[in-house]
Amino acid sequence: MKVYNFAAGPSMLAEEVKLTAQRDFLNYNGSGMSVTEMSHRSAVYENIHNEAQSLLRELMHIGDNYHVLFLQGGASMQFEAVPLNLLHTKADYVVTGNFAAKAASEAQKYGDVAVIASSKDKNHTYIPDVDKLVTREGADYLHITGNNTIFGTRYTKLPKVAAPLVADMSSMILSEEIDVNQFALIYAGAQKNIAPAGLTLVIVKKDIINRPQSICPTMLRYSTQAEANSLYNTPPCFAIYMAMLTFRWLKNMGGVPAIQKINEYKAGLLYDFIDNSSFYKNPVQKEYRSLMNVPFTTPSPELDKKFTAEAEKSGLVAIGGHRSVGGMRASIYNAMPVEGVKTLIDFMKKFELANR
């Protein structure tokens, strides 16, 4: 039985990427070693590390005025690393879901942090009007969460504010084109669109990282990692290798513009089916719907549970919604093929007919 993994993360990887990793697992590039066991100081690994950085710069059009860092600790570690490196007087946050709220909460430990907008009043089913956002005078940065994995919303337009823009892009990175130059810092856990868990990407302007707070640990200082080319200590070598393979795969497909078209098509298929059904509902305001995470419900919580159980038996795994909201959630990241979405829709049709 063919299995499609709709998990929010760790998520599925491209078949081609997994097959290449399988082929090279015992003997990478004639080295006689697996990437999992070679020294991060070796020339063989250094080539992997540098190619991964170079490919990411190419795919996202990242200029020389930015550092590209390969870190550990997940996006959750960046909830603290960001304020410890960038917060000097005050910082502003927009809360559009659980992870945005956690980011703001962690930052409040380290200085004057204000939530200047929130979508909590409508259970995070929309994005606050970015044209009405005003940061406080002298704010060191404005933090947003580009895509909300749990609630299925995304920014379709960026705020135009005085403060530098910082974004958590964990569940949307490389899924659609963005202009990196509009951001002071972007961070993303890799386990949704890039690689196995363990790697976190940070793309940060070079001119803003040299004044960390005095209490900032050495390992969390962006300057520490930048000066060492993300090799200050042993990095997550295998995850970086898998990222390199994913970046190669994306480049061969035609880069981010090509995958964006596929993502828009996949999401369009699923949203159109839901919108034309009287059985399934998606709670998100249409203009803010995510391309990556599609939450939906049936007419009752009991049917939601039945749907999830029967979907699992049919090879549509990890489709249950987050415990805080219930229902279902189809995470259709870059590696999810169109066939996976069509298979889900076919199952949804059959389930509706059997449970009306």
Question: Can you tell me the distance from the alpha carbon of 167 to that of 212, in angstroms, rounded to the nearest whole number?
Answer: 18
Residue 263: DSSP 8-state: H
- Alpha carbon 34 to its chain centroid, in Å, reads 27
Question: Can you tell me the distance from the alpha carbon of 53 to that of 64, in angstroms, rounded to the nearest whole number?
Answer: 12
The string of DSSP codes covering 53-80 is HHHHHHHHT--TTEEEEEE-SHHHHHHH
The CATH architecture to which 15-252 belongs is 3-Layer(aba) Sandwich (3.40)
Whether residue 256 contacts residue 60, with contact meaning beta carbons closer than 8 Å, is answered with yes
CATH match for 4-12+254-355 among 2.60.40.10, 3.40.80.10, 3.10.180.10, 3.90.1150.10: 3.90.1150.10
- Give me 269's structure tokens: 């298929």
- Give me 103's structure tokens: 């980011």
Question: Can you tell me the distance from the alpha carbon of 44 to that of 4, in angstroms, rounded to the nearest whole number?
Answer: 34
Question: Can you tell me the distance from the alpha carbon of 325 to that of 284, in angstroms, rounded to the nearest whole number?
Answer: 13
Residue 37: DSSP 8-state: T
Q: Which residue matches tokens 């990411």?
A: 56
Q: Check: pTM over 0.95? Answer yes or no.
A: yes
Beta-sheet strands, E only, within the chain: 4-5, 66-71, 90-95, 112-118, 142-145, 147-148, 153-154, 165-168, 185-189, 200-205, 293-296, 316-317, 328-331
Whether residue 130 contacts residue 275, with contact meaning beta carbons closer than 8 Å, is answered with no
Q: Where are the domains of the chain?
A: 4-12+254-355, 15-252
Closest Cα to residue 310, out of 343, 351, 349?
Answer: 351
Question: Can you tell me the distance from the alpha carbon of 83 to that of 240, in angstroms, rounded to the nearest whole number?
Answer: 25
- 356 residues of the chain, pLDDT tens digit each: 899 999 999 999 999 999 999 999 999 999 999 999 999 999 999 999 999 999 999 999 999 999 999 999 999 999 999 999 999 999 999 999 999 999 999 999 999 999 999 999 999 999 999 999 999 999 999 999 999 999 999 999 999 999 999 999 999 999 999 999 999 999 999 999 999 999 999 999 999 999 999 999 999 999 999 999 999 999 999 999 999 999 999 999 999 999 999 999 999 999 999 999 999 999 999 999 999 999 999 999 999 999 999 999 999 999 999 888 889 999 999 999 999 999 999 999 999 999 98
Question: Can you tell me the distance from the alpha carbon of 329 to that of 152, in angstroms, rounded to the nearest whole number?
Answer: 8
